[in-house]
């Protein structure tokens, strides 16, 4: 059943050279989502104040233009005509009025639903109501749908590919361009088929949590585990999973592997105390999400975010890497890496005069020097005389022309050196 459905959706996939279809984008989407910090505890005032902060703190100007309500906006039952309803206590003005407010700030608005009979918090899902729900969202002025799969296993015998395709068709039939973001945790390896069901992005793993290196129990490290990992995936494990998936990240597919919302500026409760990632760890987190072409969706409370985290999210060079015109993710370079100690990733990029990006991560136990010979980086072998122009992104420093190899000294644990390169 799955293979038959997969063949059908791949046959229906748009041409590689075609323009981005409605619900998709030629670049990874950027914005904010309520789940990482607030879970289901959201309301009208929170969404309005967040939208205002996104504008006032320069995040909108930097490209973070989607404000997405995760689960928590819905009533527990549909109305007499079967339509989804908002929670009238939390959102007294209604979703259409909230959408008008967000649009008035120059931003787009999104919300959450599920491909099954209920969402993760047991609010009504969209299975069997896809056309009605899509029309309802379009009528409210919604621009973005995060579509979950918690109730999907209770949706009769229909495969997730069929259910996701049904909602995609329903969204397209409204005539409104609603970005379509799937949340199915890497189940059945969606990098092979998500573009064929009309998804603009798709989750490739279980939920992230705000820890740099520590996973919760039973988290699988690689992309091709049948258990793709439940809530509690660390930043490092999410990066590890992308070794197998990054070759699928390409502009012509218009469907991006989503490494989950950013934990930059989000703390983790450890023995009753809130523990934050270090600034170097947050830089690593943001750098890899950008270079691997994951959507950049902020998960922090932007009304209270600390200045160091805000600086990370506003770094112009890193955002340019994410949003470049080439639209190709970096690849893991095993010949330049040392398992358990150093990871080196690289790939082509188009940001101003630079044509390559290199990421060198120390994830060992001690500070170390990392040496990268240019001959190990595809594309640099053509540089005349072996000279490569180098910019150290996080140091905000041009290093001039360096020949043959670069030596990165005293890279601290959890730190990533991001270099922009050109001949």
Residues labelled as active-site residues: 148, 207
Q: How many angstroms separate the CA atoms of 201 and 268, rounded?
A: 26
Q: How many angstroms separate the CA atoms of 106 and 92, rounded?
A: 22
Residue of 201, 199, 200, 244 lying closest to 221 (CA atoms): 244
Residue 241 φ/ψ, nearest 5 degrees: -60, -30
Q: How many angstroms separate the CA atoms of 113 and 332, rounded?
A: 34
H/E stretch holding 71 reads: none
Kindly list the distances between the CA atom of residue 182 and the CA atoms of 209, 348, 367, in Å, as whole numbers in the listed order: 19, 27, 39
CA dihedral 129, 130, 134, 136 (to 10 degrees): 0
Q: How many angstroms separate the CA atoms of 178 and 211, rounded?
A: 32
Residue 103 φ/ψ, nearest 5 degrees: -60, -35
Contact partners, residue 238, CB within 8 Å, separation at least 6: 205, 208, 259, 260
Residue 9 φ/ψ, nearest 5 degrees: -70, -35
The DSSP-derived string for 287-351 is: HHHHHTT--EEE-S-TTT--HHHHHHHT-HHHHHHHT-SS-B--EE-GGG-BTTTEEEEEEEEEE
Joined together, the tokens standing for residue 315 give 């770094």
Three-class SS state of 89: coil
Cβ burial of 423 (10 Å; 0-12, 13-18, 19+) is middle
């Amino acid at each position: 059943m799955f293979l038959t459905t997969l063949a059908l959706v791949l046959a229906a996939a748009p041409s590689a050279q075609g323009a981005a279809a409605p619900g998709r984008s030629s670049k990874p989407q950027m914005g904010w989502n309520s789940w990482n910090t607030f879970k289901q505890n959201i309301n009208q005032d929170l969404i309005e104040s967040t939208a205002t902060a996104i504008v006032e703190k320069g995040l909108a100007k930097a490209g973070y233009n989607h404000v997405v309500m995760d689960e928590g906006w819905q009533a527990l039952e549909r109305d007499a005509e079967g339509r989804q309803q908002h929670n009238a206590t939390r959102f007294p003005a209604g979703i259409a009025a909230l959408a008008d407010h967000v649009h008035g700030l120059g931003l787009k608005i999104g919300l959450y639903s599920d491909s099954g009979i209920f969402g993760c918090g047991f609010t009504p899902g969209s299975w069997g109501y896809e056309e009605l729900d899509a029309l309802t969202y379009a009528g409210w002025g919604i621009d973005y749908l995060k579509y979950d799969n918690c109730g999907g296993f209770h949706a009769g015998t229909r495969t997730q590919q069929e259910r996701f395709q049904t909602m995609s068709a329903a969204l397209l039939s409204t005539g409104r361009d609603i970005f379509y973001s799937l949340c199915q945790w890497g189940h059945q390896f969606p990098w092979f088929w998500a573009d064929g069901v009309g998804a603009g992005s798709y989750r490739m793993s279980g939920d992230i949590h705000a820890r740099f290196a520590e996973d919760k129990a039973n988290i699988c490290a690689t992309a091709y585990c049948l258990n793709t990992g439940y809530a509690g995936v660390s930043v490092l494990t999410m990066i590890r999973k992308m070794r197998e998936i990054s070759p699928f990240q390409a502009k012509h597919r218009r469907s991006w592997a989503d490494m989950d919302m950013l934990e930059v500026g989000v703390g983790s409760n450890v023995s009753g105390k809130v523990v934050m990632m270090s600034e170097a760890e947050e830089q690593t987190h943001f750098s890899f999400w950008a270079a691997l072409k994951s959507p950049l969706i902020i998960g922090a409370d932007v009304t209270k975010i600390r200045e160091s985290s805000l600086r990370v999210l506003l770094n112009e060079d890193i955002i340019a890497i994410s949003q470049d015109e080439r639209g190709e993710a970096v690849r893991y370079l095993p010949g330049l890496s040392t398992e358990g100690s150093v990871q080196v990733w690289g790939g082509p990029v188009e940001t101003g005069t630079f044509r390559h990006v290199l990421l060198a991560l120390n994830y060992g136990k001690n500070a170390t020097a990392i040496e990268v010979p240019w001959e190990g980086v595809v594309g640099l072998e053509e540089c005349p005389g072996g000279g490569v122009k180098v910019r150290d992104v996080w140091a905000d420093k041009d290093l001039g022309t360096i020949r043959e190899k670069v030596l990165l000294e005293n890279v601290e644990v959890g730190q990533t050196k991001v270099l922009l390169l050109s001949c």
